[in-house]
Amino acid sequence: MQYDAYMIRIAFVHNRFPAGGAERVTMDIASYLKEYGGYEVFVYASRISEAQLNDEMLSNFTLRKIPTQFISHSRTKQIERYILEDEIDILVQPGKAIPGIEKIKERTCVKTIVACHGEPFWQRHVIMHRRQKGFFRKLMWHLFNRRRFEDGTLAMRMAISRTRRDYETSDAYTVLCRSYIQETLSVLGIDEASSHIYAIENSERPVAEVNYNKENIILFVGRFENWSKRIDRLLRIWHSVQDRMLDWKLVLVGDGDDWHRMRNLAKAMHLQRVHFEGRQNNVAEYYQKASVVALTSETEGWGLVLTEGQAMGCIGVAFGCTSGVKEVLSPDCGCGFVVPPFDEGKYADILLAIAAMGDNENMAIRQRAVAKILTYAPEIISEKWRVLFEHLKTIE
């Protein structure tokens, strides 16, 4: 296939598409680049959710199927074939570099970007979780690695090694805020002046009509994956405040492996006014009604749920587990509440304080949050990506 030599061709690699925040950002970038002109965007994905796509979305990019990440050799070979066939200039790898990317670069001369959509060295949390997932891993952990894993130092060393590989094999490495640049380079021992690391936030679409007439709802939205989202913390916090917030309710939207376990925990704790809504196609309806969006996660690279809630006029509350969460909520600017990790008593106090707020104070926080979201508008964030693409295209 012959393409216009003056076009810059970008390909994004995803596992499921569309799925979460990274995939939504990809669609925002593709839409912006089509309108800007001079770009052709491709998406290479393993599992494609046709029901979540429409003709308008598909007009912005070309979608191609690739093998699952569990068949890494076939997946790598197919990606390389597509790079050559589609004459790709820049390959964007959200999360981590694909296996064999060094050889692909040698054979195709493609430029590569690794886009870290989590906190720096996010892999350590996954490693600590997976060390006891499945019989074989449990056995190996107990026999050989228990002492090394218990304090997290081994997991951190492994995460540093994987991040270093991703950084060194890429032509650009992106993180979600300026603080993450310093955190990453400090641990890797790299001088920022000679680095190829860039801060590009996740985009958030402003809402045309924000409902400020909120109901007394505390809303959780996300995967029921308790090792990372720590929904059990939110349930305990609610248990401590429910008798003092009698006209409030807790609503949880989402599904996942721990959905039944969390629902059973709520029953065992005799929680009142708790609603498990399951997976919903139209989450916007919940944001429009909710007064508070609450996260109690162990780790959040950025917290798209927080920015989605802010765009809808919700007050965000989360543990300050990462610089990304602090950047999103910007407590110094009065855009939300950051709770010291992982002080459940302090979290409860903040929820009680919000419930007791006057209308003027409450409205001021919501309006500041909505205004802040404008700085993450898709055209602003996508332009940062376009500038990076232009820069990489000029590098020999």
**Tens-digit pLDDT profile for residues 231-285:** 999 999 999 999 999 999 999 999 999 999 999 999 999 999 999 999 998 999 9
371 and 390 belong to one structural domain: no
180 and 222 belong to one structural domain: no
* Residue 55 covered by a domain: yes
* Residue 152 covered by a domain: no
State the distance between the two ends of the chain, measured CA to CA, in whole angstroms.
24
Number of domains in the chain: 2
259 and 389 belong to one structural domain: no
**Model confidence pLDDT, tens digit, residues 120-137:** 999 999 888 776 666 666
* Residue 366 covered by a domain: yes
Please compute the mean of the pLDDT values over residues 309-335 and round it to a whole number.
93
Give the model's pLDDT for residue 393.
Answer: 92
190 and 243 belong to one structural domain: no
* Residue 345 covered by a domain: yes
* Residue 46 covered by a domain: yes
Give the model's pLDDT for residue 5.
Answer: 63
Strand runs (DSSP E) across the chain, as ranges? 8-17, 39-48, 62-65, 90-94, 111-115, 172-175, 197-199, 217-221, 249-253, 274-278, 292-295, 315-319, 336-339
Instruction: For residue 45, give both structure tokens.
Output: 């994905």
- pLDDT value at 62 more than 60: yes
254 and 358 belong to one structural domain: yes
H or E element in which residue 149 lies:
helix 146-150
* Residue 50 covered by a domain: yes
184 and 111 belong to one structural domain: yes
Q: What is the dihedral of CA 260, 228, 72, 174, to 10 degrees?
A: 140
15 and 85 belong to one structural domain: yes
180 and 301 belong to one structural domain: no
Give the whole-angstrom CA distance, residue 367 versus residue 314: 9
- pLDDT value at 332 more than 80: no
Give the model's pLDDT for residue 158.
Answer: 92
Task: Give 83's pLDDT tier (boundaries 50, 70, 90).
Answer: very high
Contact 375, 367 (CB under 8 A): no
**Model confidence pLDDT, tens digit, residues 299-312:** 999 999 999 999 99
292 and 338 belong to one structural domain: yes
Give the whole-angstrom CA distance, residue 242 versus residue 222: 22
- pLDDT value at 218 more than 70: yes
**Model confidence pLDDT, tens digit, residues 8-58:** 999 999 999 998 888 999 999 999 999 999 999 999 999 999 888 999 999
The whole-model pTM stands at 0.93
Give the model's pLDDT for residue 140.
Answer: 66
196 and 269 belong to one structural domain: no
Task: Give 138's pLDDT tier (boundaries 50, 70, 90).
Answer: low
245 and 185 belong to one structural domain: no
Look at 16-25, 72-81, 185-194, 384-393 and tell me which has the smallest mean pLDDT: 16-25
Domain that holds residue 110: 8-117+170-202+377-394
CA 367 to each of CA 102, 295, 371: distance values in angstroms, whole numbers, following the listed order: 47, 20, 6
Q: Which of 165, 41, 44, 157 is nearest to 101 (CA)?
A: 165
* Residue 294 covered by a domain: yes
Q: Could you tell me the CATH number of the domain that includes residue 79?
A: 3.40.50.2000
**Model confidence pLDDT, tens digit, residues 152-210:** 788 899 999 999 999 999 999 999 999 999 999 999 999 999 999 999 999 999 999 99
Contact 50, 31 (CB under 8 A): no
* Residue 332 covered by a domain: yes
Give the whole-angstrom CA distance, residue 310 versus residue 370: 6
Give the model's pLDDT for residue 153.
Answer: 84
71 and 193 belong to one structural domain: yes
